[in-house]
């Protein structure tokens, strides 16, 4: 990657803030965009707190915190965010039409060699690439939550992806300290397809009374060595996010069972979205 290349991150929610943080920590100037300044201010507070926790734990130096914060700029003007960006990563909600609309805009605002990447957790990248005039420069860059801790970057390529674009993203992954894997463009890729499958089955088991949430999670944590059980992980990701992915995969993959359990739909309707709402399969303070 060119030295000091500008990176734009679109959407300053859970994932966008995290992606902006790790990118700035690697020294890239970052322009973080969202639709309201209040959201951007909250994201900056969150990033600052994360970096301070890093200092307490001896993982980040005060100088690193200062330099990272210096690299971060916020804006509510998409043209300012996109202007001359080397790389744009979108992390707006998991809604195909919204992502397509954003990519159409970015396609007209960014230089033709800017890589436009999506942090989608399930949507086929080709369905995003086709709305732009640069399908060869569109890739999936799927980060994991919390971004500053999870070491993986899942890169998704389509049949049209330029090998040079892939190389540029692999280089970016190394620069921000992530281990990358390259996945072909199937809905749900590798991680979400496997992770959501396990999560939905765990909810079905809870619904059927097979065991308590705690014991279902313990089964996978202690029996299979997973760092966290599938229900707790669903709480962390957000039940609404998981439901959107399940519905998308159910409609786009054949020969698999991604039908969302009724319990998941009910909990989302009741606002039990997991950690972010304080209540999911567990109670969160």
Site of interaction with ligand NAI (CB under 6 A): 10-16, 33-35, 39, 91-94, 98, 102, 119-121, 143-145, 237-238, 241
Question: In this complex, which beta carbon is closest to ligand NAI, that of residue 12 or of residue 202?
Answer: 12
161 three-state secondary structure: coil
Round to whole Å and give the CA distance between 126 and 104. Answer: 14
Question: In this complex, which beta carbon is closest to ligand NAI, that of residue 25 or of residue 91?
Answer: 91
Q: How far is the CB of 190 from ligand NAI (least distance, A)?
A: 13
Residue 280 near residue 234 (C-beta atoms within 8 A): yes
Q: How far is the CB of 259 from ligand NAI (least distance, A)?
A: 19
Question: In this complex, which beta carbon is closest to ligand NAI, that of residue 64 or of residue 250?
Answer: 250
DSSP 181: E
Question: In this complex, which beta carbon is closest to ligand NAI, that of residue 51 or of residue 89?
Answer: 89
Residue 53 tokens, joined: 């926790």
Element (H, E) at 90: strand 87-90
Question: In this complex, which beta carbon is closest to ligand NAI, that of residue 67 or of residue 152?
Answer: 152
Residue 93 tokens, joined: 């909600």
Q: Which residues of 71-94 are buried (b: 16+ CB within 10 A; e: fewer)?
A: bbbbbeebeebbeebbbbbbbbeb
Question: In this complex, which beta carbon is closest to ligand NAI, that of residue 98 or of residue 149?
Answer: 98
Q: How far is the CB of 46 from ligand NAI (least distance, A)?
A: 11
Q: How far is the CB of 3 from ligand NAI (least distance, A)?
A: 28
DSSP 121: S
Q: What is the dihedral of CA 146, 245, 210, 267, to 10 degrees?
A: 90
Cα angle, residue 138 at apex, residues 5 and 256 outer, rounded to 5°: 135
Question: In this complex, which beta carbon is closest to ligand NAI, that of residue 35 or of residue 45?
Answer: 35
Q: How far is the CB of 120 from ligand NAI (least distance, A)?
A: 5
Q: Is the peptide bond before 23 cis (omega within 30 degrees of 0)?
A: no
Phi-psi region of 189 (alpha: psi -120 to 50; beta: other; left: phi over 0): left
């Amino acid at each position: 990657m060119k030295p000091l290349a500008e990176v734009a991150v679109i959407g300053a929610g859970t994932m966008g803030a995290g992606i902006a943080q790790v990118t700035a920590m690697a020294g890239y100037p970052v322009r973080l965009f969202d639709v309201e300044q209040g959201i951007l201010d909250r994201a900056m507070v969150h990033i600052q707190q994360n970096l301070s926790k890093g200092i307490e734990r001896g993982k980040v130096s005060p100088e690193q915190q200062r330099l990272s914060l210096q690299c971060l700029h916020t804006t509510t003007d998409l043209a300012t965010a996109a202007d001359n960006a080397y790389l744009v990563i979108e992390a707006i909600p998991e809604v195909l039409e919204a992502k397509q609309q954003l990519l159409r805009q970015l396609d007209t605002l960014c230089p033709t060699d800017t890589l436009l990447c999506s942090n989608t957790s399930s949507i086929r990248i080709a369905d995003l690439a086709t709305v732009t005039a640069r399908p060869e420069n569109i890739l999936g860059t799927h980060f994991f939550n919390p971004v500053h801790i999870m070491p993986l970057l899942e890169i998704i390529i389509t049949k049209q992806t330029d090998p040079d674009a892939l190389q540029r993203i692999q280089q970016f992954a190394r620069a921000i300290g992530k281990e990358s894997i390259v996945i072909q463009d199937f809905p749900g890729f590798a991680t979400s397809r496997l992770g959501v499958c396990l999560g939905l089955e765990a909810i079905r088991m809870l619904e059927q009374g097979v065991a308590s949430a705690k014991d279902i999670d313990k089964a996978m944590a202690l029996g299979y060595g997973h760092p966290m059980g599938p229900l707790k992980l669903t709480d962390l990701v957000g039940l609404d996010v998981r439901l959107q992915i399940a519905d998308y995969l159910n409609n786009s993959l054949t020969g698999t069972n991604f039908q969302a359990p009724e319990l998941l739909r009910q909990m989302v309707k009741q606002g039990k979205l997991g950690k972010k709402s304080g209540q999911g399969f567990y109670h969160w303070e």
